[in-house]
């Protein structure tokens, strides 16, 4: 039985070509059923030409594990929407952060 059928992790990547933003949705089958822990406070300084992408709790090997934040190159004409956990029926799904054109 493959790992996605056994409930470990299924990964779906959605790619867009050209200057459009890209998105990735990680679908975790059969878990996690509990909400992620509160986000940890991270201290960072401004860095010219970069934005700070805050850390989050990733779900790996049936446990939440902290994934540190990092700097990401700014993209002219785009805003960054941070990643988030969303409740879906009886479990939580992680949605990676993504770039969106200015409106």
Q: What one-character-per-residue DSSP string does 40-94 give? A: PP------TTEEEE--EEEEETTEEEEE--EEEE--TTEEEEPPEEEEETTEEEE
Region 7-25: mean pLDDT is 42
User: Is 70 exceeded by the pLDDT of residue 18?
Assistant: no
Span 38-54, pLDDT tens digits: 999 999 999 999 999 99
User: Is 70 exceeded by the pLDDT of residue 89?
Assistant: yes
Span 61-71, pLDDT tens digits: 999 999 999 99
User: Is 60 exceeded by the pLDDT of residue 78?
Assistant: yes
Q: Which residue has the tokens 């902290």?
A: 66
User: Is 50 exceeded by the pLDDT of residue 90?
Assistant: yes
CA angle 64, 69, 70 (to 5 degrees): 145
CA distance 94 to 9: 11
């Amino acid at each position: 039985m493959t790992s996605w059928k056994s409930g470990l992790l299924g990964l779906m990547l959605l790619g867009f070509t050209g200057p459009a933003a890209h998105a990735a949705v990680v679908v975790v089958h059969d878990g996690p059923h509990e909400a992620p822990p509160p986000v940890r406070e991270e201290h960072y300084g401004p860095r010219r030409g970069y934005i700070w992408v805050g850390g989050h709790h990733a779900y790996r090997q049936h446990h939440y594990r902290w994934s540190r934040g990092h700097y990401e190159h700014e993209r002219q004409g785009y805003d960054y929407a941070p990643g988030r956990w969303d409740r879906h029926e009886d479990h939580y799904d992680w949605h990676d952060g993504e770039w969106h054109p200015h409106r």
